[in-house]
Chain A
């Protein structure tokens, strides 16, 4: 009797699975594993965009955090090991492109089919009591005593670190690079006077700038920025050589396996397009000083591939690459 019942149950399950297979994607809940911690930019952006995409899809999207590893490799490996059926997405950012050359995993970034929600331009700022009031003053001081002025940025190979390197090259100055685990501790160090300057994004600095705790000196993009009634000049207008190295811009969003079926990519793409065009996303981005991206698929892959080349070879020049980028098939920028 029991065997018979089990048999019926098994048949029923199979039948359900069978009908399920024939249904259109998505027919069950989607999970997005964010590779960075709760409260950070990538986490916040993913929770925001997933809440919007949920409205366009017949299912729920759960956001979880899978942190750790090298450059977020734990989360990427976790999603890689899930089936490529579009039910597990990975929430990531530009900083993940170094995971391969740092030995976290062994895939080129085109393993993913990415969707870019946006990014925020990087700023170079000093504490409110700092003696430096312009970028020139800061750079002149650094030239007078090379390598003596401590500069905070997140860990070696992060976008903020690469931006710091670029300004050093472009302005021919050298600072003492002090790495921090993430942007918030670096900014905290600038407030405490532990470092003289900090390079993080406008979105991350905005509340501290508006509250008068940080003094912004320059943006590291060709455009200047406006925050409150303050105009932040562009470093490009101050130093001519910068366009050889900059801009390097954040790309925060999520991705699905590139090997996922086309109907999955299409369904996600359609939901993404609607979500990114929504007023809620536009308002959120404006209030939080993010520029909305909206690229996905091949276009986004190209952007990430350019970032990957740039990051990988910069790390190799610094002697921080564990794996030769050429051996992974990453082309020189």
Chain B
């Protein structure tokens, strides 16, 4: 309790100092805006935004100001990815892929303004929830994340992949899982994570490093969307009814349980080392689908679905900073770039970190989330107008941006071929009513599952019991089993009857 009060008062001082210092604002506004732009451009990621700024600031500027810029860009980019997700059905970053599931159907129903407003609110509250955990429950979360070893990570990744089966296949649940398994198989290409043996490489050295997530993501979502859009395109843009963007307080209060739950899930997932915002969004979306009353409407334009994804991916920022600051182990890829920036400035995060720095980071996060919310609500009105532009003009531009985004990751022409190949396959799959999102989840989570599953067995000498003798693993394993059972029609009917009679 004493710690609690101490942290709050320290935070108050830090926030006041930061808010009263006029130099804060130019850094904050520019970096959040830059972050939003990076997030909104398909394929440019939060990691890239933070890395570029790290290069720009180096050790030439005082650390306080560099930190404001880097954290501002991080928060902005995770949020900015939701714009193209909602407006174009093309996720700006992997973190906002789940946002597109319900965001775009809402926009198609003419509720795009509302969707952007709710997203902004959810991102804002989500960031604050993650920040609160970083401030107050940092040691508690640290204890949990320290006890998470390979078996738990493997089961969490499996949970994410199995969730894909429950997502939005129009006719058969099985189609989601088929698509997810294709993604999982794609994740196996390259050097295996344990013995460094080549798999499915066919003597081609490009394949040795495996498939990069960004080109696959762009191929899977952007290319079919652009092809479809061009086929259907008229020469005039859509009529856009902007409507009210700032959501009513009552609506937000009504949705608060969803936002709070997603925020807590996002923080928890973010706090796991090596598991970032993208996984947070999907896991929270899956959990939301299972527990929300309107869960069966997820994927058709459910506000709860949108909030589940968007609150979680922003909350993961605060979560990812916990192991970064307290153990020196980054919780997500952008946090790894942040670690570099700290080290260049001779600040070594870890157990010996100055507690004042954590409070300072918390203060920056709070300032950044306010800036993001205000800027988001103001710019949403502008961004939504892109829908007015005729698709025949706009979509080719998006294609160029997408190509740049895919190129930016590895800087190789092969990544572009990969994007196109995945794009054509995804287009065909769309036509056959196979959902494409599970494939992307498979590619994102496959390597994590592969590595942690095999390492668990390596350590336990092949003893499968390692997946249920540890308490954390046992809980996750039962969640996985429940998830599979809930999709089997017989079991579903049984449970349906039970709840009917009771």
Contact = CB atoms under 8 A, between A and B. Distances in A.
A48 B458 contact: no
B205 A37 contact: no
A176 B460 CA distance: 11
Interface residues of A, number: 56
Interface residues of B, number: 51
Contacts of B350: 206-208, 210-211
B343 A44 contact: yes
B58 interface: yes
Interface string B258-278: 000000000000000110000
A218 B470 CA distance: 31
A47 B58 CA distance: 7
A39 B340 contact: yes
Nearest to B456: A194
Contacts of B412: 74, 78
B150 A208 contact: no
Given A47-B54, A192-B148, A211-B351, A78 B411 contact: yes
B55 A185 contact: no
Contact of B146 (A70, A191, A210, A288): A191
Contacts of B455: 178
Nearest to A52: B59
A224 interface: no
Contacts of B274: 185
A116 interface: no
A62 B55 contact: yes
A210 B351 contact: yes
B336 A38 contact: yes
Contact of A157 (B47, B51, B147, B196): B196
B191 A70 contact: yes
A192 B147 contact: yes
A194 B459 CA distance: 8
Nearest to A156: B196
B479 interface: no
Interface stretch (B34-42, B92-100, B122-130, B326-334): B326-334
Given A103-B208, A207-B350, A210-B350, A39 B343 contact: yes
Interface string B326-356: 0111100000111110011010111111000
Interface string A34-68: 00011110011001100100000000001111111
B60 interface: yes
B410 interface: yes
Contacts of B59: 47-48, 51
A239 interface: no
A154 to B, nearest CB: 11
A187 B149 CA distance: 12
A212 interface: yes
B327 A213 contact: yes
A89 interface: no
A228 to B, nearest CB: 9
Interface string A157-179: 10000000000000000001011
B459 A44 contact: no
A324 interface: no
A179 B208 contact: no
Contacts of A68: 209, 212, 410
B199 to A, nearest CB: 13
A194 B410 contact: no
A43 B350 CA distance: 18
A157 B196 CA distance: 10
A297 interface: no
B352 A38 contact: no
B10 interface: no
B51 A73 contact: no
A157 B451 CA distance: 18
A102 to B, nearest CB: 7
Nearest to B336: A39
A69 B351 contact: no
A184 interface: yes
A155 B197 CA distance: 12
A40 B330 CA distance: 11
Contacts of B330: 39, 184
A193 interface: yes
B407 to A, nearest CB: 12
B209 A70 contact: yes
B194 interface: yes
Given A47-B344, A191-B327, A155 B209 contact: no
B482 interface: no
Nearest to B201: A103
Contacts of A191: 146, 327
B335 to A, nearest CB: 8
Interface in A74-123: 74, 78, 102-105
A37 B351 contact: no
10 contacts: A38-B47, A38-B339, A48-B344, A178-B459, A184-B273, A188-B273, A191-B327, A206-B348, A208-B327, A213-B351
Interface of A: 37-40, 43-44, 47-48, 51, 62-70, 73-74, 78, 102-105, 150, 155-157, 176, 178-179, 181, 184-185, 187-189, 191-195, 206-208, 210-213, 283-284, 287-288, 320, 322
Given A47-B59, A207-B350, 13 more contacts: A38-B337, A48-B59, A70-B196, A73-B205, A78-B411, A156-B195, A188-B323, A189-B149, A206-B348, A207-B348, A207-B349, A211-B350, A211-B351
